[in-house]
A = this chain, B = another copy of it.
């Protein structure tokens, strides 16, 4: 079944939700109606029963292991996307007099700032507006203020296609929105108090937010907020204070096993470097036919944005690529152009095929640029 199906599979460059490993999908399908001979689907089971308990515990342990998270952190499985974290972070972490510093690196960072302003004294330590959000700041560019509780960064901007090549060296803990490069590169955990992200890019289906939080900060988080919004309550209840998102947790566990089988975080990082290099090479070697507007040092290894010589050619490129089974290559509506999102589960063969398509398209359409 796999090989037939595989040849029928789309090259899916969606920015998320996105491609999942085929073997994970097939396994989930196989046990979907009758989970391990129990006479029930896993999604019909009490979240407090032994079967789901085993699934959740395994996903928690594997996520800590594969992402190389030290023991002084806990992992939380929440809901509401990275978007709800935009509120929960300042709600929980900022006490009176403390400020939250934010790097405004593009659309998602801007969203984090917008929401945070409802819950505390927030300032922008650096703003990428003047270069149209095409690069990340160096540490020397950050304008930090006194009484800053944390520096919030969006480690990879899904829309702008940029990432931090090096981590900021500041005196306050970092908070990272890592949604679009989650578990695709190692983190210097000593610098972070909290890392969060939606699952629907590298980790599994939509409907789940994965948070890693430093345990020692939980004693000082704000307790005067609704219980679903409190990190300490989720942590002390092992993310089972209320009914968790059962199916995404189950799928996350399967994706983690797949990652481990591929070689874990190091393999994901190597794969991301290789896959992104193929596409950046296709862009850079095109005599300017394709153009990536991003600062070379800050190029994302997950979201490769590029332009063609004209919007007409971009339309043609999107239309013909879709016919050739390459889908979701359209850039975000706010910036236009093209974008190939090449998350962990996207096979390298899809990237090779796209690079080849790009070369062919350029050959066939180069004269239109005259």
Residue numbers of A with Cβ under 8 A of B are 5, 8-10, 12, 14-20, 22, 25-26, 28-29, 32-34, 38-41, 43-47, 49, 78-84, 86-87, 91, 111, 114-115, 118-119, 198, 200, 205-208, 224-229, 241-248, 251, 325, 328
Whether B83 pairs with A247 at a CB distance below 8 angstroms is no
Whether A47 pairs with B242 at a CB distance below 8 angstroms is no
Alpha-carbon gap, A9 to B16, bound state (A): 35
Question: Which residue of B34, B111, B226, B246 contacts A17 across the interface (Cβ within 8 Å)?
Answer: B246
The 5 closest A-B pairs by CB, nearest first: A87-B226, A207-B245, A79-B79, A115-B226, A43-B205
Q: Would you mind naming 10 contact pairs between A and B with Cβ atoms under 8 Å apart?
A: A10-B38, A12-B40, A14-B45, A29-B29, A80-B228, A86-B226, A200-B243, A200-B246, A207-B208, A207-B247
Q: What's the least CB distance linking A236 to chain B, in Å?
A: 15
Chain B residues with CB under 8 A of A79: 79-81, 84, 207, 245
A33-B26, A33-B29, A227-B114 known; A49-B328 Cβ under 8 A? yes
A80-B79, A87-B229 known; A46-B241 Cβ under 8 A? no
Whether B46 pairs with A34 at a CB distance below 8 angstroms is no
Alpha-carbon gap, A119 to B208, bound state (A): 26
Whether A44 pairs with B17 at a CB distance below 8 angstroms is yes
Q: What's the least CB distance linking A47 to chain B, in Å?
A: 6
Tallying the copies of this chain within the complex gives: 2
Chain B residues with CB under 8 A of A83: 227-228, 241-242
Chain B residues with CB under 8 A of A225: 87, 118
Chain B residues with CB under 8 A of A207: 79, 207-208, 244-248
Chain B residues with CB under 8 A of A118: 224-226
Whether B15 pairs with A228 at a CB distance below 8 angstroms is no
Q: What's the least CB distance linking A328 to chain B, in Å?
A: 6
Q: What's the least CB distance linking A82 to chain B, in Å?
A: 8
Chain B residues with CB under 8 A of A84: 79-80, 226, 228-229
Question: Which residue of B17, B46, B81, B111 contacts A43 across the interface (Cβ within 8 Å)?
Answer: B17
Chain B residues with CB under 8 A of A34: 5, 8
A226-B87, A228-B86 known; A44-B14 Cβ under 8 A? yes
Question: Which residue of B46, B111, B119, B248 contacts A15 across the interface (Cβ within 8 Å)?
Answer: B46
Whether B29 pairs with A17 at a CB distance below 8 angstroms is no
Q: What's the least CB distance linking A35 to chain B, in Å?
A: 10
Chain B residues with CB under 8 A of A9: 39-40
Q: What's the least CB distance linking A330 to chain B, in Å?
A: 10
Chain B residues with CB under 8 A of A244: 206-207
